[in-house]
Structure 1
């Protein structure tokens, strides 16, 4: 149920975007840029970061959608749940683990992020562009988590699966056509 009385109770984010296209269009374009354009991270890895951040924030909508999207891109089912439960023992590659640790800390305790945290990302083999891109994904999904939760947008597992497949197939730019 959304908190917006002008929308049907079962509205999803797409209906919110349709109701507010002036803000939705640049936001969706930014998603396409951050999540699908050239990056040291694959689309699967960026979706994994988005789902992880959303899980740290306990945003069930974004965590559900982006877990399914990450899995549609080939991330192993159950990996996100394991990473959120215990990042140190989760079946996350050694190169990606410090990135998830970094975005998790940036999400939960942003003022406590230090140069040592960034150095851990660099030591794992990532460059400056990768740190930049990981921070952008983290920031974007902290924003989206607040937007979705603040507007009361909810969905179930069936919708998460549908949305994950849609994002895999048409990307974020495909959503622009759906709101017009």
Structure 2
């Protein structure tokens, strides 16, 4: 007895011990189940996120291609660079960021062909020998971040179609004679900074 009160020391009964062990095991199993479920869901979520970003990139490339056409219609010439499209308010700098792995080199994420002769290749006349036989295979723009990631690549073609292609198929298309020697323009700009900022 201590201070006039009795302390009764009691251990857990066998039934209580078994109950505690069962509860602990169930908690551990449920944690394991959550971990397994997350392990199975995370790759699917990553794939879904990548697919959504690919669609976004394809849409933005289409906007750039449309802005080139609008510039041509309004100015009666093709833009000298993508930066001219920005300066003339045909597109915003944010359109040039694909959302895929940012290269962090002060440039946009899209390679864009501004070779005027390529667009003249769409005409029905071939006086200058510029006609392109297969405009649906002639690459005019693509997402370089997606290309560097070697999974899928958003790209637009001379026939104004855009697609998201498997990396290997796109790489083969870039190596094809129809696309050899093309000079793609990469805009000089820094993410989040206006043109000319350090």
TM-score, with structure 2 as normaliser:
0.25
Question: Which of the two has greater helix per residue?
Answer: 1
Q: With structure 1 as the length reference, what TM-score do the two structures score? A: 0.27
Q: 1 or 2, which has the higher strand percentage?
A: 2
Structure with bigger RCO (C-alpha 8 Å, 6+ apart): 1
- Higher Cα Rg, which structure: 2
